[in-house]
Structure 1
Amino acid sequence: MSVHSEIKKVTTETLRKMKFDKEKITMLTAYDYTTAKMVDAGGVDAILIGDSAANVMAGHETTLPITLDQMIYHAQCVVRGVDRALVVADLPFGTYQSDPQKALESGVRMMKESGAHAVKIEGGEEIADSVSRLINAGIPVMGHLGLTPQSIYQFGTYKVRAKEDAEAEKLIKDAKILEELGCFALVLEKIPADLAKKVSESISIPTIGIGAGPDCDGQVLVYHDMVGMNKGFSPKFLRRYLDLYTEITGAVSQYVKDVKDVSFPNKNESY
């Protein structure tokens, strides 16, 4: 029996069961094969190919510029590196919002061409038709409410969402709509912890929080932020587990020095 066949793969059903058993779900982003291998080996339950690739991989200011083709490429790379985790890929801005048929075509392309296990899309009631079309075609959908970065120009800010009663009520309603439509899980981004707790308790599908307090059914962070590759981005919700920016720039500086003073390569490193 091969090692691979003994690994119990995480599925959408696994996440539902984890919520039922009150076991917290762990999720991180990955955008390439090497990172995906490490993140999977570290034991996360789910890997998100986030459209945050636009920021951390391509240097864009927002997530809006990334294309479906580029997201499929990143997802293909990640899928090749994963043995255990559930792999979820974002459908990028403009590929699903107003046209359910376009949403279906985008979702089908992502699933067929990348091998991802599910897609994630942002929004509530206003994208209900697109969610339905995807789910009816057998494509698992993860919802995303609260701060939805693809709508950043509509919001005009990355501040905490749903502090006001009206927006909070809409968010709860949207969460219930997404559950009824058949989403298998929901990301809740940058909303008050009390509201995230309320949403998590009012629906039967798992909630995965980012800046939404400890009472969500799971947590997600951007890998590059969590390992400290980024220096400039320090939101309140981020915990850095490493300072790779310092480690890597230090290693590069040492390499430059060693080459300049001809201490690399040495005799043992030469043929």
Structure 2
Amino acid sequence: MKTRREPIVMVTAYDYATARVAERAAVDMVLVGDSGAQVVLGHSSTVQITVEELLVLSAAVRRGTRHAFLVSDLPFGSTELSDEQAIATAVRFVKEAGVDAVKLEGGSPPRLARIRAIVDAGIPVVGHVGLTPQTAVALGGLRAQGRTAESAARLVREALAVQDAGASVLVIEAVPAAVVGAVLPALRIPVIGIGAGAADGQVLVMHDLLGITEGTTAKFVKTYASIGGDMAAGVAVYASEVRSGAFPGVDNHYAATAEAIAAARAELANHRADV
């Protein structure tokens, strides 16, 4: 698709239902992001999700995904100790969840070593540079990168290094479009942008683009539906009808034969007699 200059569509999913939504929309790539820590599990940051939790989410998405290329984040703490740890974690996601590739954040020398090790083990890797939420504290918080000369130069170095380490795809997050545009011609692998201008493709969090996320979203988010509001309104109507007695109505009842009703009453009468 990169060679043909066809834009690549990527979206996150976290369970069977959202996977089916992505599949029905015919997206090209699905990411089981560690953002599930926030939008699914209710944590305050991505670092709190565990390997076991993300494996469950990834396996559910795999069951709902037939055609899209499936990628899972590797959680914070599951690759940092050694190349061996990184390979073992990546293997679990391939064997137990059935993902097509794993995603690692960062372009530091240790991160590059992990990418090489996982690729050498035969597992495709998606890199991620720019704003890397797992290590956002070290970057000064959840803020755009590449806006200063030093940060822009680092972005270029890391992007090229991740490619050279063997990554198959690169996500660039929250970086000025002009900076991404400067490095894009030197990148042979597909570049998926999120708040990074016009790259080879784009990715957004499913809950953000559908308007399910509560509160303020990042500047780069565009909302395409208001599902969250519709869901809350629907549940509110349901609650009101239950409280008023309007639900369930006759249309929601199962019919019973006269014989069944008589048998139930007879059984109740026998029970009372026994007591």
Task: State the TM-score, normalizing by the size of structure 2.
Answer: 0.90
1:217 to 190, 200, 220: 200
After the TM superposition, which residues 116-131 of structure 1 pair with which residues of structure 2 at under 5 Å, given as runs?
Answer: 116-126=99-109, 127-131=111-115
Q: Which has the larger radius of gyration?
A: 2
What is residue 245 of structure 2 aligned with on the other side? 262
What is residue 172 of structure 2 aligned with on the other side? 188
SS of 2:47's equivalent in the other structure is coil
More divergent stretch after superposition (152-161 vs 65-74): 152-161
1:161 to 127, 135, 145: 145
Query: Does residue 40 in structure 1 map to residue 19 in structure 2?
Result: no
Q: Partners in 2 of 1:42 and 1:268 — Cα distance?
A: 33
- Count the aligned residue pairs: 253
Q: Partners in 2 of 1:95 and 1:235 — Cα distance?
A: 27
More divergent stretch after superposition (124-133 vs 223-232): 124-133
What is residue 51 of structure 2 aligned with on the other side? 68
Q: Partners in 2 of 1:171 and 1:156 — Cα distance?
A: 15
Query: Does residue 115 in structure 1 map to residue 86 in structure 2?
Result: no
Structure 1: runs of 5+ lacking an equivalent: 1-17
Which stretches of structure 1, 4 residues or more, deviate above 2 A after TM superposition?
none
Deviation string, structure 1 residues 228-251 (Cα, Å, up to 9, x no partner): 001303222111111112101110
Shift of 1:199: 2.2
Q: Partners in 2 of 1:256 and 1:57 — Cα distance?
A: 23
Shift of 1:162: 1.4
Q: Partners in 2 of 1:40 and 1:105 — Cα distance?
A: 29
SS of 1:236's equivalent in the other structure is coil
Contact preservation (8 Å) 1:26, 1:46:
yes
Structure 2: runs of 5+ lacking an equivalent: 255-275
1:92 to 52, 72, 75: 75
Identical counterparts, % of pairs: 38
What is residue 21 of structure 1 aligned with on the other side? 4
Contact preservation (8 Å) 2:113, 2:165:
no
More divergent stretch after superposition (121-130 vs 51-60): 121-130
What is residue 242 of structure 1 aligned with on the other side? 225
Q: Partners in 1 of 2:223 and 2:63 — Cα distance?
A: 27
Shift of 1:256: 0.8
Task: State the TM-score, normalizing by the size of structure 1.
Answer: 0.91
SS of 1:143's equivalent in the other structure is strand
Please give the root-mean-square deviation of Cα atoms over the aligned residues, in Å: 1.0
Contact preservation (8 Å) 1:225, 1:233:
no
Query: Does residue 251 in structure 1 map to residue 227 in structure 2?
Result: no
Query: Does residue 101 in structure 1 map to residue 53 in structure 2?
Result: no
What is residue 177 of structure 1 aligned with on the other side? 161
More divergent stretch after superposition (139-148 vs 239-248): 239-248
Query: Quick one: which amino acid aligns to residue 87 of structure 2?
Result: L
More divergent stretch after superposition (243-252 vs 132-141): 243-252
Q: Partners in 1 of 2:215 and 2:242 — Cα distance?
A: 30
More divergent stretch after superposition (151-160 vs 73-82): 151-160
